[in-house]
Amino acid sequence: MADVVSPATRSRMMSGIRGKDTKPELAIRRGLHALGFRYRLHARNLPGKPDIVLPRWRAVIFVHGCFWHGHDCHLFKWPKTRTEFWQQKITANRQNDEKAVAALHAQGWRVLIVWECALKGRTRRNLDETVSSIAIWLRSGRSNRKIRGRD
């Protein structure tokens, strides 16, 4: 199926997609701050530039968009046009994610990944419940965790 908008319009739309301060990320940050957690944002000195860094807890949080990181959920579908480009792009994103997580572990950081589908779409979880489970994970000292939408 051909795109319904012109290439220039599609380019403008895609360039407007934010990499930082997304709605899901802001919702998690607000919830954690309300619970008394203090954090740094997008630390360039850490592998993968985590969205939220909690130095006191030696933990980082990534809030991943399901499309951009190729998550296996209802929010991700392979584009029908420029398939080779998108397969390379999303595969590279996945590989970069794996490298960043491995490097963070090597530096002694704990890693949590919150998937977009946990916060929006038909499988979304309650925001307060999600933030509460993040707080429990932070206090637990456990290493890795992923929060995704309800199955």
**What H or E segment, with its residue span, contains residue 61?**
strand 59-64
Residue 106 within any structural domain of the chain: yes
Single-letter amino acid code for the residue at 39: Y
Into how many domains does the chain fold?
1
Residue 4 within any structural domain of the chain: no
Structural domain of 131: 17-147
Residue 68 within any structural domain of the chain: yes
Residue 96 within any structural domain of the chain: yes
Span 27-46, pLDDT tens digits: 999 999 999 999 999 999 99
Span 93-143, pLDDT tens digits: 999 999 999 999 999 999 999 999 999 989 999 999 999 999 999 999 888
Q: Is the dihedral of CA 85, 87, 92, 97 positive or negative?
A: positive
What is the residue whose two structure tokens read 């949590």?
112
Q: What is the domain-level CATH number for residue 22?
A: 3.40.960.10
pTM (predicted TM-score): 0.87
